[in-house]
Amino acid sequence: MDYSTNDSKSTSKKKVVAVVGGGLVGNLNACYFAKRGFQVEVFESREDILQAKIVKGRSINLVLSHRGRQTLKHVGMEDTIISKGIPMHSRMIHALNGTQSPIPYGKKGQYILSIDRANLNKELLSAAETYPNINLNFANKLLDWSTETGAMTFVRAEGAKEEIQADLIVGCDGAFSAIRKQFLRQSRFNYSQTYTPHGYLEFTMPPINGEFAMKPNNLHIWPRNTFMMIALPNLDKTFNCTLFMPFEEFEKVTTGDKVIEFFQKYFPDAIPLIGALLRGIFFRLPAQAMVSVKCSSYHFGDKCVLMGDAAHAMVPFYGQGMNAGFEDCLVFNEIMDQLKDFSAVLPEYTRVRVPDDLAMYNYVEVTYFILLTNSDVNSKWFLF
């Protein structure tokens, strides 16, 4: 099917934008393009999560920072999302001896939010559904696309293949982006993918007597040299805990008794809070790998642009992947305010965005633990 208008490459309103990947960034992006008057076709490999009984996904909750909120504001979603989030005013640092010390996120009254990932996904999808000029195509997986013609090949759930054309392709298909594969063949395209030696494991800290087991308006952190545990509050009064640790350490903890021993050594204050669930936490699911992706440039001619994890996947303990991906949408939109043609907008987006991202990586990699005590909620590179 040829959705493209085949006239000039201007960003005029009748153009068709294909957003490949209907995750957090893809759905928000669809709203941004629709708001500008484009016809938007979203292609998502999964089924419709608003209809699905079981939704698979990564973390249970996410940190929404100031920069992420600004992007939601632009499409009128900030208040809805904030009303379902839990404000966290400080990091609460847990020392080995159980002492807790708060480190505020900036000035009094400033906070970041703990947001339920599944709900955020659903809200973004519901928002996209309200635009008459957004068409959501579920169970459509991109197999390949041609850099010469721009034609994309999708396969549907039942196995049928279809070729689609659009005026602009926006790759929001995550860290293992199929759109990005074609970039790899281009001269002067830089790309790196790195797995950290750390994995992550999520588990729940249940309520105690119907109340939060710890102070809810904090992001709890147990820093322990080469690894750390964090806990974010949920609306149902549980905390979602994530342990980031080298895989070789995970591999040493092979029985329920070893879990208890491990917690006695590193997180003794968390033992009564997690309670009876503790013995089983290492064995429900294996620790998950963490990948970071850096690439440049983010665009191909006037045909295609990468956003979100497809452009810059980062390890979760920065608490920034989604926030940075949301900001991509805002920055691209601002550039479209100034420049008329995709042939000018796309290189400008790369020019503005690539150094920003790379600077962030370098900055956080070098100074993570210094920043832990210094970054504030409004700083561009806020960290946990």
> Is residue 178 at the binding interface for ligand FAD, with CB under 6 A as the rule?
yes
Of the candidates 85, 216, 319, 347, which one interacts with ligand FAD according to CB under 6 A? 319
CB-nearer residue toward ligand FAD: 176 or 283? 176
> Is residue 63 at the binding interface for ligand FAD, with CB under 6 A as the rule?
yes
Q: How far is the CB of 8 from ligand FAD (least distance, A)?
A: 28
Q: 174 in the Ramachandran plot: left (φ > 0), alpha (ψ -120 to 50) or beta? A: left
CB-nearer residue toward ligand FAD: 139 or 339? 139
> Is residue 173 at the binding interface for ligand FAD, with CB under 6 A as the rule?
yes
Our CA angle for 56, 61, 63, nearest 5°, is 135
> Is residue 322 at the binding interface for ligand FAD, with CB under 6 A as the rule?
yes
d(CA 309, CA 58): 13
CB-nearer residue toward ligand FAD: 82 or 344? 82
In the block, residue with structure tokens 């070893």: 258
d(CA 345, CA 17): 14
Q: How far is the CB of 263 from ligand FAD (least distance, A)?
A: 20
Q: Pick out residues in 226-285 that bind ligand FAD (CB under 6 A).
A: none
d(CA 4, CA 74): 27
Distances (CA, A) of 177 to 160, 172, 372: 21, 8, 31
d(CA 245, CA 304): 37
Amino acid 382 reads: F
> Is residue 298 at the binding interface for ligand FAD, with CB under 6 A as the rule?
no
Of the candidates 5, 12, 35, 46, which one interacts with ligand FAD according to CB under 6 A? 46
CB-nearer residue toward ligand FAD: 96 or 118? 118
CB-nearer residue toward ligand FAD: 172 or 305? 172
> Is residue 218 at the binding interface for ligand FAD, with CB under 6 A as the rule?
no
Enumerate residues 6+ apart whose C-beta is below 8 A from 182.
144, 145, 146, 147, 300, 304
Pick the piece of the chain touching ligand FAD (CB under 6 A) from 91-99, 103-111, 159-167, 316-324.
316-324
Among candidate residues 145, 139, 122, the one with its CA nearest the CA of residue 28:
122
Pick the piece of the chain touching ligand FAD (CB under 6 A) from 58-66, 131-139, 220-228, 251-259.
58-66
One character per residue 76-115, x = contact with ligand FAD (rule: CB under 6 A): ----------------------------------------
Pick the piece of the chain touching ligand FAD (CB under 6 A) from 69-77, 81-89, 317-325, 334-342.
317-325
CB 135 within 8 A of CB 268: no
CB-nearer residue toward ligand FAD: 85 or 316? 316
Residue count, binding to ligand FAD (CB under 6 A): 32
Among candidate residues 264, 268, 271, 203, the one with its CA nearest the CA of residue 239:
203
Of the candidates 316, 329, 364, 375, which one interacts with ligand FAD according to CB under 6 A? 316
Q: How far is the CB of 156 from ligand FAD (least distance, A)?
A: 11
Enumerate residues 6+ apart whose C-beta is below 8 A from 192.
293, 294, 295
Q: Which helix (H) or strand (E) holds 34?
A: helix 24-35
d(CA 86, CA 233): 7
CB 384 within 8 A of CB 91: yes
> Is residue 123 at the binding interface for ligand FAD, with CB under 6 A as the rule?
no
Pick the piece of the chain touching ligand FAD (CB under 6 A) from 69-77, 245-253, 272-280, 319-327.
319-327
Q: Pick out residues in 327-356 that bind ligand FAD (CB under 6 A).
A: none
Q: How many beta carbons lie within 10 A of that of residue 95, not counting itself?
A: 11
Residues that bind ligand FAD (CB under 6 A): 20-26, 43-46, 58-59, 62-63, 141-142, 172-174, 178, 200, 308-310, 316, 319-323, 325
